[in-house]
């Protein structure tokens, strides 16, 4: 047994989260793609069966009340809240990440129009009301620009382009490091990723949010690659709006609904571009005029997708008793150990590290540039190590602290070395 | 046994669809709320279990290809297509009805701007490309109005208001019968309901669509209360865009994903306000610039909600071998018989019929105005007859021809008579 294998064993033995793994359905495969689709929590199948057979099949329409279907979006939002550092009542679950980016960014532009700086006017929400601000083509505030992370997962960029077009703003793509220099009194809103989907780089949410606020603009964060992997601190850092998916580190299942965070003091000014009947103050009043609900419910749109939503609710039970700080500590230990094993096993010069070495700049994945990455990933998968390939030349390995152990890490790096030799 | 009970027995014995009922999970309750949430098809629980345990739990990320997850939105769209009279390749499933109304109505306004009449320029699509038309605030075509059904289920009205605001148009609510008189060269698009959610009134889709086209505008239909209950004939009648939910007469489950129809020759001009990565020509190319996919895929947005979507796919199997014309014939027979039984059992003057008597104006539900409707519905449900109540004074009874029989109808009317006596 190699020294690294021995080390892996010792690290696993000392891992306070090691026991969580048994709450997932796993096999002999080293699954390093939980940053794309989280593994199945073992309690989900039974819960889904109950939702289908009893709640739908037997109670049918009564389940909207009796099984708590109607209130699921905000109830499950409250379950996600502690994982991203949010007090209750600020998150609703529903729709895809793309749709939530649209809601958040359009609402952010309207906030910037309606009352100047969001960050510097923390109490404006109590007096503010949804008005006619943000009408197509107007930029009464003079804030005619939206900044977007130029390195973003593409959907955020496409949706931001649409949000800009539909609010009469100009979209300006800049890298996150360029944001402070690009901010001005023309900036309405800024859409940023907490962790870069490709490189795994962790961006500095507290300081970037503060810079956005100092410029009087509204900060929108995409948490897809950070929520469930590291502390986010939405409330602590005064983030205005945030979105995220639930099928990566939150293990909600394929295409499970996304979520939207609206900071409490901004909720009265959250003016949604998708004011569906679920966001009405009195949804069953069937009133022709729209009157927005109070609070986070304002972020709801249409009828919630119950099967997927309740599968997510069950999946979130694995977090009971898990501290996100412990998850972060293990995540960094896993990626550190992976880098060490890669250095030991992979021939010099065969891969190039894309992910930052500094802990403060690293999420929970490691990306390696590699000439024939697509082919290499195929061979890894054939040998039981599942990561993924991102065009054109990146191998991505995601480390989910709830179910990936150090022996997995050592094996993954060893197999990678064999494949590349 | 009363004459009506005998008649019910004879009608059930002659019903060519009677055998379909055994494909659903049903009990002693007379379930007349399938126009709100369809009953559970018996094959769904096993299919969902396979999706959760094997496709997600064992194959995990591989299922995006190997289990056909990625192509589910268009595959299931093609399964819905024959039920609404559409050839393949024109429907995608995903998102809520509200979100699809937004996509359809904004795209309709942009179509009206980009190339004049949709109906009178059927071949324009082949040459048209998505351009800058429809930019916030512009109405270059002079078509500055959107007409919306003033009696619509509220969400369509709220979303239409947002679509109007974000495209710089004026929203003008009119009743469907007023539409022909309200159309003009100022009309960009018209959003109508095929069947009214409250009254059960069936609107004349062919003639209204023709009138919209004659005015050079784009017709968007909401099929929530007609699809699966009667023939729609989207292709035959030249409908431009349509949306619908799948949890009513299509029995897809609570909050199952909605669908969007874009007529083939308009697809090149479908310019979505929600251009997520799933609607990109090369979604895994991860390109910063948006380039729309060809065909109906352009209506996709974010990652599809697989659990709910594949439950719907299984649910649609009950339609194998079922002719929608037979469904319509039975639906009319059911509602005719219900009206006859209500006349026989319910004390004179106690309820007032809201639903039209003429077959050509009736969907698959019967709405009765009744003073204490909320309380009456509670007592009906206690006695095993499940319909629903719509504010302020309407009793709604939906007749799902796939699993409601004539004996159910007789019993429902009889219990209603007892409750109202």
How does pLDDT run across B200-225, given as a tens digit for each residue?
999 999 999 999 999 999 999 999 99
Place of tokens 């509220």: B154
Q: Given pLDDT bands bounded at 50, 70 and 90, which one contains residue A125?
A: very low
Flag whether pLDDT at A251 surpasses 80: yes
Which alpha helices (DSSP H) does B169-294 contain, by range? 179-182, 205-214
- Give yes or no for B159 touching A (CB within 8 A): yes
Mean pLDDT to the nearest integer, A17-35: 97
Q: How far is CA A50 from CA A57, A305, A306, in A?
A: 9, 16, 12
* Range 299-328 of B in CB contact (< 8 A) with A: 301-309, 311
The tokens for A66 are 């009796």
* Phi, psi of B48, rounded to the nearest 5 degrees: -65, -40
Return the half-sphere exposure (C-beta side, CA atoms, 13 A cut-off) of residue B138.
Answer: 14
**Cβ-contact A234, A242 below 8 angstroms:** yes
Kindly report the average pLDDT of chain A as a whole number. Answer: 94
Q: Please give the angle made by the CA atoms of A251, B287 and A399, to the nearest 5 degrees.
A: 30
The tokens for B200 are 């059960």
* Range 391-410 of B in CB contact (< 8 A) with A: 391
Domain layout of chain A by residue ranges: 3-42+323-420, 70-319
Place of tokens 């009947």: A277
Mean pLDDT to the nearest integer, B290-315: 97
Query: A70-319 adopts what CATH topology?
Result: 3.40.640
Instruction: Give which of B163, B19, B30 is closest to B102, Cα–Cα.
Output: B163
CATH of domain A3-42+323-420: 3.90.1150.10
**Cα separation of B409 and B417, whole Å?**
12
Mean pLDDT to the nearest integer, B43-71: 98
pLDDT in tens, A30-83: 999 999 999 999 999 999 999 999 999 999 999 999 999 999 999 999 999 999
- Give yes or no for A211 touching B (CB within 8 A): no
Q: How far is CA B392 from CA A285, B149, B372, B377, in A?
A: 8, 20, 9, 12
Q: How far is CA B258 from CA A272, A306, B74, B391, in A?
A: 20, 13, 12, 25
DSSP letter at A366 equals: E
Mean pLDDT to the nearest integer, B49-64: 97
Query: What pLDDT sits at residue B135?
Result: 45
Flag whether pLDDT at B130 surpasses 90: no
Q: Which residues contact B62 (CB under 8 A, 6 or more apart)?
A: none
- The dihedral built from the CA positions of residue B330, B94, A50 and B58, taken in this order, carries a sign that is positive
DSSP letter at A51 equals: I
Percent of residues, chain B, with pLDDT higher than 70: 94
Contacts of A288 in chain B (CB under 8 A): 150, 154, 157, 173
The predicted model scores a pTM of 0.95
**CB neighbourhood size of B81 (10 A):** 20
**Cβ-contact A214, A179 below 8 angstroms:** no
**Cβ-contact B147, B174 below 8 angstroms:** yes
ipTM of this complex: 0.94
Flag whether pLDDT at A139 surpasses 80: no
Q: Which class for A294: exposed (0-12), middle (13-18), buried (19 or more C-beta within 10 A)?
A: exposed
**Cα separation of B49 and B28, whole Å?**
26
Flag whether pLDDT at B121 surpasses 80: no
Q: Under DSSP, is residue B295 helix (H, G, I), strand (E, B) or coil?
A: helix
Contacts of A106 in chain B (CB under 8 A): 166
Query: What pLDDT sits at residue B134?
Result: 40
Measure CA of the first residue to CA of the last residue in chain B; give whole Å: 20
pLDDT in tens, A213-244: 999 999 999 999 999 999 999 999 999 999 99
CA A369 to mean position of chain CA atoms: 24
Flag whether pLDDT at B1 surpasses 80: no
CA A392 to mean position of chain CA atoms: 23
Q: Under DSSP, is residue B14 helix (H, G, I), strand (E, B) or coil?
A: coil
**Cα separation of A239 and B154, whole Å?**
33
Mean pLDDT to the nearest integer, A231-259: 98
Query: What pLDDT sits at residue B349?
Result: 94
Q: How far is A73 from chain B (nearest CA, A)?
A: 12
pLDDT in tens, B232-263: 999 999 999 999 999 999 999 999 999 999 99
Nearest to B52 among A40, A98, A309 (CB): A40
Contact A52 B48 (CB under 8 A): yes
Q: Given pLDDT bands bounded at 50, 70 and 90, which one contains residue B391?
A: confident
Nearest to A57 among B40, B162, B306 (CB): B40
Enclosing H/E stretch for A241: strand A241-244
- Give yes or no for A365 touching B (CB within 8 A): no
Query: Poorest-confidence range of A124-138, A208-222, B297-311?
Result: A124-138
Contact B154 A280 (CB under 8 A): yes
**Cα separation of A74 and A77, whole Å?**
5
- Give yes or no for B131 touching A (CB within 8 A): no
**Cβ-contact A190, A220 below 8 angstroms:** yes
Query: What pLDDT sits at residue A138?
Result: 56
Query: What pLDDT sits at residue B138?
Result: 56
Q: Under DSSP, is residue A272 helix (H, G, I), strand (E, B) or coil?
A: coil
pLDDT in tens, A308-333: 999 999 999 999 999 999 999 999 99
Q: How far is CA B412 from CA A61, A158, A265, A370, in A?
A: 17, 52, 50, 69
Q: Would you tell me the crossing angle of helices A306-315 and A72-80 to the nearest 10 degrees?
A: 30
- Give yes or no for B56 touching A (CB within 8 A): yes
- Give yes or no for B136 touching A (CB within 8 A): yes
Q: Given pLDDT bands bounded at 50, 70 and 90, which one contains residue B114?
A: confident
Query: What pLDDT sits at residue A137?
Result: 52
Taking one residue from A and the other from B, the number of pairs with CB-CB distance under 8 angstroms is: 268
**What is chain B's alpha carbon radius of gyration, rounded to the nearest angstrom?**
22
**Cα separation of A295 and A282, whole Å?**
13
Query: What pLDDT sits at residue B137?
Result: 52
Q: Report the C-alpha dihedral over residues B108, B118, B173, B35, rounded to 10 degrees.
A: -70
Query: What pLDDT sits at residue A114?
Result: 83
Q: Under DSSP, is residue B213 helix (H, G, I), strand (E, B) or coil?
A: helix
Flag whether pLDDT at A128 surpasses 70: no
Instruction: Give which of B101, B21, B411, B17 is closest to B274, Cα–Cα.
Output: B101
């Amino acid at each position: 047994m190699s020294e690294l294998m021995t080390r892996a064993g010792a690290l696993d033995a000392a891992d306070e989260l090691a026991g969580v793994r048994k709450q997932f359905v796993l096999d002999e495969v080293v699954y390093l793609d939980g940053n794309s689709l989280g593994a199945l929590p073992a309690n989900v199948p039974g819960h889904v069966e109950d939702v289908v057979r009893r709640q739908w099949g037997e109670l049918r329409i009564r389940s909207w009340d009796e099984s708590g279907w109607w209130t699921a979006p905000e109830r499950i939002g409250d379950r996600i809240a502690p994982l991203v550092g949010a007090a209750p009542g600020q998150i609703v679950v529903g729709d895809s990440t793309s749709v939530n980016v649209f809601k958040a960014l359009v609402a952010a532009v309207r906030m910037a129009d309606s009352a100047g700086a969001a960050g510097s006017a923390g109490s404006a929400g109590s007096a503010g009301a949804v008005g006619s601000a943000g009408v197509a083509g107007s930029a009464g505030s003079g804030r005619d620009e939206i900044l977007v992370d130029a390195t973003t997962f593409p959907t955020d960029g496409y949706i931001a382009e649409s949000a800009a077009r539909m609010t009469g703003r100009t979209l300006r793509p800049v890298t996150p490091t360029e944001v402070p220099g690009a901010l001005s009194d023309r900036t309405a809103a800024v859409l940023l990723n907490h962790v870069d989907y490709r490189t795994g780089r962790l961006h500095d949410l507290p300081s970037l949010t503060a810079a956005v606020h100092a410029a009087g603009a509204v900060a929108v964060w995409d948490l897809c690659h950070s929520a469930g992997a590291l502390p986010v601190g939405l409330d602590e850092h005064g983030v205005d709006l945030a979105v995220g998916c639930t099928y990566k580190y939150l293990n909600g299942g394929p295409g499970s609904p996304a979520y939207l965070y609206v900071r409490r003091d901004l909720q009265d000014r959250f003016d949604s571009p998708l004011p569906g009947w679920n966001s009405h103050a009195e949804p069953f009043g069937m009133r022709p005029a729209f009157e927005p609900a109070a609070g986070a419910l304002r972020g709801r749109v249409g009828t919630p997708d119950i099967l997927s939503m309740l599968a997510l609710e069950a999946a979130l039970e694995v977090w009971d008793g898990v501290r996100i700080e412990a998850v972060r500590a293990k995540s960094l230990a896993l990626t550190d150990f992976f880098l060490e094993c890669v250095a030991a096993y992979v021939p010099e010069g065969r891969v190039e590290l894309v992910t930052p070495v500094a802990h403060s700049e690293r999420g929970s994945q490691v990306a390696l540039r590699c000439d024939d990455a697509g082919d290499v990933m195929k061979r890894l998968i054939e040998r039981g190590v599942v990561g993924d390939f991102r065009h054109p030349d990146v191998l991505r390995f995601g480390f989910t602290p709830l179910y990936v152990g150090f022996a997995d890490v050592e094996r993954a790096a060893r197999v990678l070395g064999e494949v590349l030799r």
